[in-house]
Structure 1
Amino acid sequence: MRFTKTGALTATVALCGLLAGAAQAETWRAWAIHPEDYPNVVAMQQFADEVTEKTEGRIEPTVYANGVLGAQPDAIEQVRAGAIAVGNFNMGPMGEIVPATNVLSLPFIFRDVDHMHAAMDGEIGQRFSDALSEEGLVALSWMDSGSRSFYNTKHPIETPADMDGLKFRVMNNDLYVQMVDKLGGNATPMAYGEVYQSLKTGVIDGAENNYPSFESSNHYEVAKYYSITNHLIIPECICVSTKVWDGVSDEDKAIVTEAAVKAADLQRELWAERSDASKQKVIDSGVAVNEVEDGQAFQDAMEPVYADFIAANPDLESLIRDIQSVQ
């Protein structure tokens, strides 16, 4: 093929333009801990696809599922440093970095999942995002992680007295230890991967979690009593690194934020479907599921937990009250 001087110049200019455009494209590593078919990861993939499309490739997130980029504490630090651009994080482990987020781990801080949505989608959620941004994270939207209830190998739990003497696995957080202790049980912090065998051998009598985790971990095979207390409802975020965010144009910030909100909406929808399916599976397997009728008795038992928390964190008392007042 023959080129004229003018044609060659035009081709060179076009090539330079393409190279410049390619140089402007920014690849974002996106962290997720769950498998690819999990509601959170499906939603994160939608987020990545929409951002890539709407920014015309200026930002191209790639989702890494199954925690392949590290455990959550490590991933949080990598996002703060800008090594990972964005992640889907649970607020439970965030308290060591952002003390205000410990409020979200208080038992019964939310009346139900709808109350959590109303709080986190409004001014309360913005306050948490502001607190996170001071530590290198910007919360773009809020996802579900379900409501957690107690399950055990012995009998249904109807009142706090039914927990007397039972050993319950909890996550490694003093608030969760206090929660079980005040209800009369014996709290045993333990790695999640050890729970099934510990239930099977009697090292522990029970644990607490949401329906999808209870089912997917096969804990329902050995713990045949699931009592709905809804004592913990801990939100999750799609959080982007401030080091990355500060370099994003206002136009692309709007695109990314909108995509994150839509991803959270999808995750909530998929989570509700997954929870219903998991509940039905455990019931069909012969697990006895009961809803605690006197939830107030469990909440009343938490008064010393709140009192101790407020005494240690007096500046967070108003935040607790504001969350509780959200309608």
Structure 2
Amino acid sequence: MTTHAPRRAVLLGALAAPLAAPFIANPAKAQTITLRSADVHPDGYPTVEAVKFMSRQIEEKSGGRIRIQVFGSRQLGEEKDTLEQTRFGVIDLNRVNSASLNSLVPETVIPGLPFLFRSEEHMHRVLDGAIGDEMASGLPRHNLIPLAYYDSGARSFYTRAKAINEPGDLRGLKIRVQPSDMWVSMMRAFGANATPLPTGEIYSALQTGVVDGAENNYPSYQSFRHFEVAKFYSVSEHSMAPEMLVMSKRSYDRLPKETQDVLRQAAKDSVPEMRRLWQARSNEAKAAVIAAGSQINTLDKAPFERNMGPVYDQFVRDARMKGIVSRIRETT
């Protein structure tokens, strides 16, 4: 993907000046505020459409004074880059996977832990309550305001050469993971060789054999067209690491209190809409990849789950983290 770096650099350079302020006033209407939001996913993807829904809610509730402009398809860069820009107030809003926050706030590791959530419904009950708030409570110290948890489905393996049915099938395979120590540790516990790569590099890495496989949900597998170069999709559902919508604290603090309240409520209102879109998109994506020739198999999770002890030992070390994990498991 080095061939695309100059294009991204030019784009970011062109945007740097207007984005330096957390919002842009419309000369025709001095009180109008436009907030900029980043996403690596394309138009039509549930997270992108959820932020657009949020924008419509804000415009309506503010009488047209506030809107959100969504830049999808990595227009503003990969998640690592846009997250830094968000922390500095260059970008106002950002949809990132919780794994991108792991190096900043240790508690954000927890929702991505392998086989922690029993189902998506269990995950929703946890994230929508006090536990979800607690796991995100450290973000403001890093100039990020947590606004909402979005679904990222259940992540499963997809590979170039063979299906995965048992832990031994992963031994020695190079599997792309998100740039996160926890994800590297998880793949090692599975017996695979973890290969951290940005999202934009996965397709070519699969195509050329730099990696043997990757792992993600059906919508990402389909929308990034990874099914074209990795035909075997093995349903392991090893993690339900959620997406998070965060806002630059610098941008947030410059808004009046009533505007902050409107923004928070609109983010909250966008969650059920995102989940509705997510379920429909997941079903469509699964049908599309099957029609395109992907081979789907469902593996027995138990042998994989038994190998995850070292991951929990490494990343759930203090009493507070252990307490959060216990409370999640006790949530009915």
Provide TM-score, normalisation by structure 1. 0.84
Which of 155, 164, 174 is residue 157 of structure 1 equivalent to? 164
Q: Which residue number corresponds to residue 106 of structure 1?
A: 113
Largest Rg, 1 or 2: 1
Q: Which string of whole-angstrom CA distances, capped at 9 and with x for unpartnered residues, describes residues 5-34 of structure 1?
A: xxxxxxxxxxxxxx9994343332222332
Letter in 1 for 2:33: E
Q: Which residue number corresponds to residue 50 of structure 1?
A: 57
Q: Which string of whole-angstrom CA distances, capped at 9 and with x for unpartnered residues, describes residues 166-202 of structure 1?
A: 3322222222222222222232333444433443444
Letter in 2 for 1:320: V
CA distance in 2, matches of 1:169, 1:81: 29
The 3 A distance-change label for structure 1 pair 167 and 52 is same
Letter in 2 for 1:323: I
Q: Which residue number corresponds to residue 85 of structure 2?
A: 78
RMSD: 2.5
Once the two structures are TM-superposed, the CA of residue 123 in structure 1 deviates from its matched residue by: 0.7
Letter in 2 for 1:43: A
Q: Which string of whole-angstrom CA distances, capped at 9 and with x for unpartnered residues, describes residues 64-109 of structure 1?
A: 3333334323322333333332222221111122222122332222
Q: Which residue number corresponds to residue 8 of structure 1?
A: none
Q: Which residue number corresponds to residue 16 of structure 1?
A: none
Q: Which residue number corresponds to residue 96 of structure 1?
A: 103
Letter in 2 for 1:183: F
Q: Which residue number corresponds to residue 34 of structure 2?
A: 27
1:137 aligns with 2:144: yes
Q: Which residue number corresponds to residue 319 of structure 1?
A: 324
Q: Percent identity?
A: 38
Q: Which string of whole-angstrom CA distances, capped at 9 and with x for unpartnered residues, describes residues 129-169 of structure 1?
A: 32212322222221112211012233332221222333322
Q: Which residue number corresponds to residue 302 of structure 1?
A: 308
**1:141/1:238 contact within 8 Å kept:** yes
Q: Which residue number corresponds to residue 190 of structure 1?
A: 197
The 3 A distance-change label for structure 1 pair 85 and 133 is same
**2:107/2:136 contact within 8 Å kept:** no
Q: Which residue number corresponds to residue 10 of structure 2?
A: none
Q: Which residue number corresponds to residue 6 of structure 1?
A: none
SS at the partner of 2:117? Answer: coil
Unaligned runs of 5+ in 2: 1-25
> Which residues in structure 2 correspond to 1:276-295 (within 5 Å)?
276-292=283-299, 294-295=300-301
CA distance in 2, matches of 1:295, 1:148: 13
The 3 A distance-change label for structure 1 pair 205 and 85 is closer
**1:27/1:62 contact within 8 Å kept:** yes
Which of 238, 241, 244 is residue 245 of structure 2 equivalent to? 238
Letter in 2 for 1:239: V
Deviating more after overlay: 100-109 vs 20-29: 20-29
CA distance in 2, matches of 1:120, 1:161: 33
Which of 94, 108, 121 is residue 128 of structure 2 equivalent to? 121
The 3 A distance-change label for structure 1 pair 84 and 152 is closer
Q: Which residue number corresponds to residue 17 of structure 2?
A: none
How many residues align? The count is 307
Q: Which string of whole-angstrom CA distances, capped at 9 and with x for unpartnered residues, describes residues 209-265 of structure 1?
A: 111222223322232221111112111222223333334444333322221122222
CA distance in 2, matches of 1:72, 1:214: 17
CA distance in 1, matches of 2:140, 2:280: 32
SS at the partner of 1:23? Answer: strand
**2:58/2:67 contact within 8 Å kept:** yes
CA distance in 1, matches of 2:282, 2:288: 10
The 3 A distance-change label for structure 1 pair 66 and 185 is closer
CA distance in 1, matches of 2:46, 2:168: 36
